[in-house]
Structure 1
Amino acid sequence: MKLERESLELLQKALVKLEAGFNLPDFKVEFDTKKMEEVMLLTAEKMQDNYPYFHPLFAGQMLKPPHPIAKVAYMMAMWINPNNHAMDGSKASSPMEKEVVADLAKMFGWGEHLGHLTGGGTMANLEALWVSGKIHPDKKIIASDQAHYTHERISEVLKLRFDKVATDHQGRIDLSALEEELKIGDVGTVVCTMGTTGLGSVDPLDEILELQKKYGFRIHADAAYGGYFMLLSNLDDHTKNKFSLIDHVDSIVIDPHKQGLQPYGCGCVIFRNPEVAKFYIHDSPYTYFTSDELHLGEISLECSRAGASAVALWATHQLMPPVENGQFALDLEKSRSAALKLFEKISSNENFFPIVKPETDIVTWGLKGETTSKMSELAHAFFKKAEENHLYLSLYKYPTEKFSNPDFEIDSKYLVCLRSSLMKPEHEDWLDEIWKRMILSLN
């Protein structure tokens, strides 16, 4: 069996339990079962035109299958279909959302906080930068050239000034370039990327905090991809140290739908200072009358949001809390271990060379050649050959200006290289098979 289906029996039991909580007269929803079956089988056939994102041999883009309990909890919640905007539409799922956000805040070292789930990292980052703009309306947002492109786009939407600064060869923000920007005196917020989506690199938060003491700016930690890695025991010491300081930042974004085993879309934004709630204040004549407590809709730019996301994350946290040495952390450590093992194999192979040593679970490598243009051609060919061998990778453009004294000629602006996001804990067990197919794809 390739697609996990054992949890369907659990879903049936959960629906019976859910239904038992409503002491109401029976009623029946009428639908054409035969026609629905035809449509669903046609839909399943259409969905076959996909890469096998769920399988360990898919080792390219950032696509991690939800945990079975997240899938079951999400589907069960759909029979209620709560809307986590106001308590009236989410009597159970709004408290569940507050609980899981508190879990994440605690993971980052925060007790008091303000936060909520979002439809994804883009919306979460938008809210963080929106608050930054409210606090420093006339100042710039700064991020590295390896930060997610959404920051520049969001800044444009919010009519905030934005600048990118250079990165070092590891893809981390260049501190000298950053300080040159800070000296001008018009920077309101620095985005510190805790795990870039390209190389998986973690910006030097420790040194950014030192600059903050000198220049006085907000720090927004974009930990959409890398936030959960702070739980791991097998990070390099310098990376672990950077994560250990994350409680000093002003706002954090994390995406449970990336490393947190959740279905799309489930992002989260958290602020250290609850007083930023004042920026969200609005008046609605119809959404708030069930409870005197704070409604999630009062601290969110989004209105209607899927309560099923909160239910799925809550169930996952009950099964596997996001804590050090717990099962969730141990599984994520396997992804990190797989990345380190693949890095070592690549480093010792005569045909490959690593681009950077992985800080998280992303590995990038190139194919050896005389010129960067030729090496890029080899990468494209290898990528296609790997797919023919049912190994699914991704491509990445690395700026050739970052190479220092290479043993090849630089004749292009970028080097196209290969990239693997080893997000599934099963990747460690499948690494020998992945490597075998990589070697096969050289021919």
Structure 2
Amino acid sequence: MALENLTLTALAAAFAELDRQFAYLPEFTAEAPGQDRMQAVLSETAARLGDNFPYFHPLYAGQMLKPPHPVARTAYALATWVNPNNHALDGGRASSAMEKEAVAQLAAMFGWDRHLGHLSSGGTMANLEALWVAGQLQPGRTIAASAQAHYTHERISGVLRLPFTKINETDHGRIDCCSLERRLDQGDIGCVVATLGTTGVGAVDPLPEILRLRERYGFRLHVDAAYGGYFLLANNLAPEARAAYDVIGEADSIVVDPHKHGLQPYGCGCILFRDPAVGRLYKHESPYTYFSSHELHLGEISLECSRPGASAVALWATQRLLPPVPGGEFAQGLEASRRAALAFAARLTADARFAVPFEPELDIVVWAPRAASASQASALSQSIFDRAAGQQLHLALIHLPVSIFRTSWPDLVADQETIVCLRSVLMKPDHETWLNRIYTILGEATDAALS
């Protein structure tokens, strides 16, 4: 059996306990309209879902798709029987309290005892809130981010009608602080986005240097750690990355996505602000939503209105089981993923068929098959990608500047500005024990493409 199913038993037991919580109500049995036809529809649904990549399997090593922990999946499903809405306490009393507790744990992970924050549908909405706050505090000023930062920052800036500028990246995919400083000299930048774990190559921007620039230029600093935030807990980072994570608490706002490394179902992002006073920017009035409590409603500190309480319940349950603390079981899973990435990159570097531009900083590995030119290497990458998928090894492709291979592949003929590279996100702890099989299939696919 490919899919884990032991949690079905746990769900049944938890459902019975939930049902007992409402035993005080008058007897009532909810009907399920069309129940006689429901099984047929669900069987058809399962068949349709089979037309997916096997994201849960270790041979899926392409995009950043990590299977939810069984406790998260079960808690989420359990909550849907109540279907709480965390916009207001009236719609999600218990789940709102669980969200506040879970978010406080995430804030504590970054060293914040005082904070303002909440869950969101994902990193896009969380980053939108961060940049919206930046724009409210410094209206009309420019947002700056690396060329390797997520494309959503430029798009969000457009939605918010804020100017946006793209800063050059280094050959390691990090923001170039010299280019940033030259741009800051123009005097119009209100917020700099630093990325700790770019979604393309997993690069970690040099946060200590950016903080030194903030002391001089006074901009607001937002850290997009949607992908890489949890690696703060890992004890096997390289010194430069470790130095960046050690000062992440100096940022003005942080985004982290529990639905990436946090073992949560989609969609679950989180926005955190260091200064709770920014909550004043969200102030609004509602004639009907807030009447059952004088406590803070999560809807009063969020741009989103209706939000699934099930996401909060799932995250709360996961963090009860696996607290996000250094040295814990959860942190050890992150360390296993990074070990897998380092081992995979080392094997690729030692293999004459491949070129690796730099050692992975987190758990994303990028590489290219060696060829006479960038265009020929790009074609080979596509062929290897297709052939590997035919053997159920699912990788990813990424277009990167040819310049990233300046050191590792100096004789590459740059007949085009970009090169199509192969990419793996080894974010499942199981990847560490599956590396031999993954590399065997990759080697066979490469040999076939070269023949």
Give the TM-score normalised by the residue count of structure 1: 0.99
CA distance, structure 2, for counterparts of residue 10 and residue 241 of structure 1: 42
Alignment of 1:439 onto 2:434: no
The aligned counterpart of 1:412 is 416
User: Residue by residue, what CA displacement relative to the aligned partner does 1:84-119 show, whole Å, maximum 9, x if unpaired?
Assistant: 000011110001000011000000010000000001
Taking the TM superposition and a 5 Å limit, the aligned residue runs for 1:169-208 are 169-208=171-210
Secondary structure of the equivalent of 1:380? Answer: helix
CA distance, structure 2, for counterparts of residue 323 and residue 127 of structure 1: 26
Secondary structure of the equivalent of 1:92? Answer: helix
User: Residue by residue, what CA displacement relative to the aligned partner does 1:149-189 show, whole Å, maximum 9, x if unpaired?
Assistant: 00000000001010101000110000111001100111100
CA distance, structure 1, for counterparts of residue 392 and residue 15 of structure 2: 38
The aligned counterpart of 2:292 is 290
User: Residue by residue, what CA displacement relative to the aligned partner does 1:189-240 show, whole Å, maximum 9, x if unpaired?
Assistant: 0000010000000000000000001111010000000000010011111111
CA distance, structure 1, for counterparts of residue 113 and residue 301 of structure 2: 18
Alignment of 1:427 onto 2:399: no
In angstroms, what is the RMSD of aligned CA positions? Answer: 0.8
CA distance, structure 2, for counterparts of residue 255 and residue 112 of structure 1: 20
CA distance, structure 2, for counterparts of residue 151 and residue 99 of structure 1: 28
CA distance, structure 1, for counterparts of residue 6 and residue 103 of structure 2: 29
The aligned counterpart of 1:146 is 148
Q: Tell me, which stretches of 5 or more residues in structure 2 are unaligned?
A: none
Taking the TM superposition and a 5 Å limit, the aligned residue runs for 1:131-170 are 131-170=133-172
CA distance, structure 2, for counterparts of residue 199 and residue 117 of structure 1: 26
User: Residue by residue, what CA displacement relative to the aligned partner does 1:125-165 show, whole Å, maximum 9, x if unpaired?
Assistant: 00000000001102100000000000000000001010101
Task: Report if aligned partners of 2:357, 2:404 keep a CA contact under 8 Å in 1.
Answer: no
Alignment match of 1:367 (pick from 369, 377, 393):
369
CA distance, structure 2, for counterparts of residue 402 and residue 136 of structure 1: 35
The aligned counterpart of 2:344 is 342
The aligned counterpart of 1:28 is 29
CA distance, structure 2, for counterparts of residue 281 and residue 111 of structure 1: 23
Q: Shift of residue 29 of structure 1? A: 2.4
The aligned counterpart of 1:15 is 15
User: Residue by residue, what CA displacement relative to the aligned partner does 1:20-54 show, whole Å, maximum 9, x if unpaired?
Assistant: 01111222222333310000000111111111011
The aligned counterpart of 1:272 is 274
| Structure 1 stretch displaced more, 430-439 or 402-411 | 402-411
The aligned counterpart of 1:302 is 304
Alignment of 1:128 onto 2:151: no
Secondary structure of the equivalent of 1:373? Answer: helix
Q: Shift of residue 243 of structure 1? A: 0.2
The aligned counterpart of 2:78 is 76
User: Residue by residue, what CA displacement relative to the aligned partner does 1:329-368 show, whole Å, maximum 9, x if unpaired?
Assistant: 0011111110000001000001111122100000000000
The aligned counterpart of 2:393 is 391
Alignment of 1:115 onto 2:104: no
**Amino acid in the other structure paired with 2:438:** I
**Amino acid in the other structure paired with 2:335:** E
Alignment of 1:55 onto 2:57: yes
CA distance, structure 2, for counterparts of residue 417 and residue 389 of structure 1: 19
Alignment match of 1:382 (pick from 377, 381, 384):
384
Alignment of 1:281 onto 2:283: yes
User: Residue by residue, what CA displacement relative to the aligned partner does 1:394-415 show, whole Å, maximum 9, x if unpaired?
Assistant: 0011111344261121101111
Secondary structure of the equivalent of 1:291? Answer: coil
Secondary structure of the equivalent of 2:93? Answer: coil
CA distance, structure 2, for counterparts of residue 88 and residue 402 of structure 1: 53
Task: Report if aligned partners of 2:64, 2:425 keep a CA contact under 8 Å in 1.
Answer: yes
Secondary structure of the equivalent of 1:169? Answer: coil
Q: Shift of residue 82 of structure 1? A: 0.2
The aligned counterpart of 1:5 is 5
Secondary structure of the equivalent of 2:420? Answer: strand
CA distance, structure 2, for counterparts of residue 214 and residue 25 of structure 1: 66
**Kindly, what percent of the aligned residue pairs are identical?**
55
CA distance, structure 1, for counterparts of residue 26 and residue 57 of structure 2: 44
Task: Report if aligned partners of 2:357, 2:405 keep a CA contact under 8 Å in 1.
Answer: no
Q: Shift of residue 425 of structure 1? A: 0.7
**Amino acid in the other structure paired with 1:88:** D
Q: Tell me, which stretches of 5 or more residues in structure 1 are unaligned?
A: none
CA distance, structure 2, for counterparts of residue 401 and residue 411 of structure 1: 12
The aligned counterpart of 1:94 is 96
**Amino acid in the other structure paired with 2:375:** S
CA distance, structure 1, for counterparts of residue 427 and residue 403 of structure 2: 29
Q: Shift of residue 64 of structure 1? A: 0.5
The aligned counterpart of 1:260 is 262
Q: Shift of residue 317 of structure 1? A: 0.4
User: Residue by residue, what CA displacement relative to the aligned partner does 1:385-439 show, whole Å, maximum 9, x if unpaired?
Assistant: 1001110000011111344261121101111010000010100011111111111
CA distance, structure 2, for counterparts of residue 403 and residue 53 of structure 1: 30
CA distance, structure 1, for counterparts of residue 181 and residue 227 of structure 2: 26
CA distance, structure 1, for counterparts of residue 127 and residue 293 of structure 2: 29
CA distance, structure 1, for counterparts of residue 404 and residue 58 of structure 2: 31
Task: Report if aligned partners of 2:366, 2:424 keep a CA contact under 8 Å in 1.
Answer: yes
